[in-house]
Amino acid sequence: MTTQDFQEIIDFAIAREEESIKFYQDLQKETKFQDQLDMLKEMEVMEKDHKTALENIHYSNITELNIDKVPNLHISEYLTDNVEELDLNYPNLLIMAMKREENSLRLYTELSDRFADEQIANIFRKLASEEAKHKLWFETLYDEWIKQGN
């Protein structure tokens, strides 16, 4: 892998994180409740942290990436794909976020499988792992909300 190839991959991932940051910022403008706003701000911060981490990845330390194994509750896979049509109540915000993280997880997983270069594949595996953590967080919040009888 060349340094230029590496940088193009990192730039792609940074652009995805910027899209996520904007997504959560836009939802913040629409939400009416403080709890929802707090959750969305927390997600914005997490995405900004990922962007910063990506900006600080250097070609020389790519083999040192720690890729966590993250459980999958599979909740988002059973929920609607038409998230644009949902109103902005708490469970629907969670569904929107789960679906966004699910799509990012799927994208990065597919990209990790496409590259024979182990270093490139590792970058995408790491990104997929981070998105899986976000998805799990939203699925857990959703599961807790359902368990409360809502």
Q: For position 45, what pLDDT does the model report?
A: 94
3-147 domain in CATH 1.20.1260.10?
yes
- The domain locations on the chain are 3-147
Mean predicted lDDT score pLDDT of the chain: 86
Q: For position 36, what pLDDT does the model report?
A: 84
Q: For position 32, what pLDDT does the model report?
A: 80
How confident is residue 1, by pLDDT bands cut at 50, 70 and 90?
low
How confident is residue 62, by pLDDT bands cut at 50, 70 and 90?
low
Q: What pLDDT, in 10s, does the model give residues 65-117?
A: 788 899 999 899 888 778 778 787 888 888 988 999 999 999 999 989 988 88
The mean pLDDT value for 130-146 works out to 92
Q: Tokens standing for 92? A: 């629907």
Could you give the 3-state DSSP secondary structure of residue 87? coil
Q: For position 30, what pLDDT does the model report?
A: 84
Residue pair 54/8 in contact (Cβ under 8 Å)? The answer is no
Q: For position 92, what pLDDT does the model report?
A: 87
How confident is residue 3, by pLDDT bands cut at 50, 70 and 90?
confident
Does 58 have pLDDT greater than 80?
A: no
Distances in Å between the Cα of 89 and the Cα atoms of 37, 73, 133 are 11, 22, 23
Q: For position 137, what pLDDT does the model report?
A: 92
| Predicted TM-score of the model (pTM) | 0.80
Q: Tokens standing for 77? A: 């896979």
Buried b (16+ CB within 10 A) or exposed e, 23-58: bbeebbeebeeeebeebbeebbebbeebbeebeebe
